[in-house]
Homo-oligomer: A and B are copies of this chain.
Amino acid sequence: MARPERRTVRDVRRGNRGMLLRTLYFDGPASRHELTGLTGLSAATISTMTGDLLAEDIIVEAGQVDSDGGRPRVLLRVNPAYGHVIGVDVAETHVRVELFDLEMTEKARVDYSLRPSHHDIELVTRRILAGIDVVLADGQVPADRVLGVGIGVPGIVERGPDTLIHAKTFGWDGVPLGALMRAGTSLPVFIDNGAKTMGQAELWFGGGRGAAHAVIVLIGSGVGATVVADGVVMRGASNSAGEWGHTKIALEGRQCRCGGRGCLEAYIGAEGILDRAGVPTRTSDWQAALGRVLETRPDVIEETVAYLGMGLSSLINLLNPERILIGGWAGLMIGRDLLPGIRAAARVNSLTQPFNATSIILGELGPDAVALGAATLVLEEFLNTSAPLRLHAAS
């Protein structure tokens, strides 16, 4: 039972303005006249609202289109230089900070490598803050033109005033990354799980565009998923929804690093595949190792496809998505050649109706999209609220 908030007339404006801006962002450039059709708003409203947005420099004119016999249409578009967004990818081996304009064109990037098992939270925070300064300098963007910073981290992100992070592999147990960031910068900070920010990137700019019900599946050494229902990333009661990798596919099955047994991840995660193939998991280059398994061990691969089909069918039956994207470095490697087999394996295990409603395709964005997705969190906020800039960066 949803309990929506009280609304006032001003919320109407906020909502409609956000819709106009999103329409212009995704379907633009467009003329005022076209916008009436796209948004459902009257010409009068479009006129006043575009007037405001032009005055605020949030949108700009983008040329004219001659019409045969009639006043030419003036095209409008979101001003890509109105503001910039920063995305951060905090991973096992590196901290990456990227600067984008509003069209998500990368303007600058910096990488800091992390020594394994050297994930001190203060160190990571310092790297992020330093990275922000570096990309702003490189991109020649003043801090007061930045709409915010999005950060993708491993583990579970507990929302709250301090934004606590729980990441076993990093030894982070309730680390207040949000509070630490906000102490170091006045920019608005958004933090989410890295797998979810990757999903967000696929949803907005990759293979998930336009899908209202989708699941973005991530297969790397671990296995996760981003569930999108009614166009919104599903978060659950404590923001940990999407843990698909620990779905059980066998009673008393293979040991998983989560401590449980029979987890999907223990079968189709890169580590699980290598282990099933008898390859020592202490390999230096996992990608190469997985490549060799793909070429030389059809038995293991066939089994992998079968398990993956089982896992996907659970998603299809339970969630009835219109699209499933397979991503993550291992997912892309496996999927490149074996997608037809994966589809067949999913079909065998799925109910006809929901299977037919689903298309199973590869992700488009590669494994580097964590920072892009994190930056998208900022963009999303901007497009929804179109909050006038500069207020936050005051202090």
Q: Do A1 and B248 touch (CB < 8 A)?
A: no
Known: A236-B319, A240-B357, A354-B243. A9 touches B6 (CB 8 A): no
Residues in B with CB closer than 8 Å to A225 are 318
Known: A12-B11, A237-B357, A349-B260. A318 touches B232 (CB 8 A): no
Q: Do A354 and B251 touch (CB < 8 A)?
A: no
Q: Which residue of B lies closest to A303 (CB)?
A: B251
> A297 CA to B259 CA in the complex, in Å?
30
Q: Is A213 an interface residue (CB 8 A)?
A: yes
Q: Do A3 and B16 touch (CB < 8 A)?
A: no
Q: How many copies does the complex hold?
A: 2
Q: Is A242 an interface residue (CB 8 A)?
A: yes
Residues in B with CB closer than 8 Å to A19 are 3-4, 6
Residues in B with CB closer than 8 Å to A47 are none
Residues in B with CB closer than 8 Å to A238 are 320, 322, 353-354, 357
- State how many residues of chain A have any CB contact under 8 Å with chain B: 72
Residues in B with CB closer than 8 Å to A212 are 1-2, 237
Q: Do A234 and B229 touch (CB < 8 A)?
A: yes
Q: Which residue of B lies closest to A314 (CB)?
A: B247
> A16 CA to B231 CA in the complex, in Å?
24
- A12 CB contact (under 8 Å) in B1, B8, B358: B8
Q: Is A166 an interface residue (CB 8 A)?
A: yes
Q: Is A141 an interface residue (CB 8 A)?
A: no
Q: Do B2 and A318 touch (CB < 8 A)?
A: no
- Interfacial residues of chain A within 1-59, with CB under 8 A of chain B in the complex: 1-9, 11-12, 15-16, 19, 22, 26, 39-41
Q: Do B3 and A240 touch (CB < 8 A)?
A: no
Residues in B with CB closer than 8 Å to A382 are none
Residues in B with CB closer than 8 Å to A239 are 320
> A179 CA to B321 CA in the complex, in Å?
27
Q: List 12 A-B contacts (CB under 8 A).
A: A1-B22, A7-B12, A213-B236, A237-B320, A237-B321, A237-B322, A237-B354, A240-B353, A248-B249, A248-B349, A251-B306, A251-B310
Binding site for B on A (CB under 8 A): 1-9, 11-12, 15-16, 19, 22, 26, 39-41, 156, 166, 203-204, 209-210, 212-213, 225, 227, 229-232, 234-244, 246-251, 258, 260, 262, 306-307, 310, 313-314, 317-322, 348-351, 353-354, 357-358
